[in-house]
Amino acid sequence: MTIPRRQLPGIVLACLLLLPASLGAQREGGTLRIYLARHGESDANAAGRVSGWQDVRLTAKGRQQAEVLRESLRAIPIDAVYSSTLSRSRETARILRPDTPATPLDSLKEKSGGRFEGLPAGDPELLRRLRDPDDALDGGESLNQLTGRVRRGLDQIRREHPSGTVLVVGHAWTNRAILRVLLDLPAERAFAVDQGNDELYLIELGAGGRPRLWKLIREGNLGDL
């Protein structure tokens, strides 16, 4: 199978998903392009622990990851930048686009991990319960609750930018929910998304057309897909 690819200034993208016109976020007007980044490695990522709403910071590696990604985005015109209100997202946004102040939105915060925050991310009970989209993890948020919150944030972004190009710097679970909303993914498909701290997606939402999901790849390395 030939994977569709496109070359933009300083960036190579491969098409991961092309939806039927009847699915995904339907829009009027021009094309909206959303570059979707995840924050760089955080202290909790490095320790293999659940951070959720804990306001952990980037590691030196996380800042370096953001600096590398910044070079990939340098030649791309960006109309606006959005981050969550958590430090690791805001710091990544500042590194990625130092000349464009990010708008922090509570609606883009990471999924609350409830009583599991601070515990190992590989906790067997946590991994089992995460697969239930209605499980709020004892005082945290369920995937369905997160999706509703993220949907409100996306509605705000799309009202302010009916077309053009925006950069959103989110979190692992936040970005799963963003893709779930924009591409109309079932919960199990959203759960399977595994975006690295240094990975970039592009979602294209054309007027009346089919939503497209692209992923940044390194030239000559389809192993990144």
Of the candidates 39, 41, 117, 141, the residue annotated as catalytic is 39
Phi/psi of residue 195, nearest 5 degrees? -85, 125
Q: Copy the structure tokens of residue 181.
A: 């909303």
- Looking at residue 26, what is its pLDDT? 44
Of the candidates 41, 110, 117, 204, the residue annotated as catalytic is 110
- Looking at residue 216, what is its pLDDT? 75
How much is the pTM?
Answer: 0.86
- How is domain 5-224 classified at the CATH fold level? Rossmann fold (3.40.50)
Q: Based on the residue annotation, tell me whether 110 is a catalytic residue of this protein.
A: yes
Alpha-carbon distance of 122 to 119, in angstroms, equals 9
Q: Based on the residue annotation, tell me whether 39 is a catalytic residue of this protein.
A: yes
- Looking at residue 211, what is its pLDDT? 86
- Looking at residue 2, what is its pLDDT? 41
Q: Please report, as a single letter, which amino acid is at residue 71.
A: E
- Looking at residue 20, what is its pLDDT? 40
Alpha helices in the chain (DSSP H): 43-47, 60-73, 87-96, 124-130, 143-160, 172-183, 187-192
Determine contact, residues 203/183, Cβ cutoff 8 Å. Answer: yes
Let me know if 136 is exposed, middle or buried by CB neighbors in 10 A (0-12, 13-18, 19+): middle
pLDDT averages per 10-residue partition of the chain, 225 residues: 46 48 50 96 98 98 97 93 99 98 98 98 97 97 98 97 97 97 92 92 83 70 37
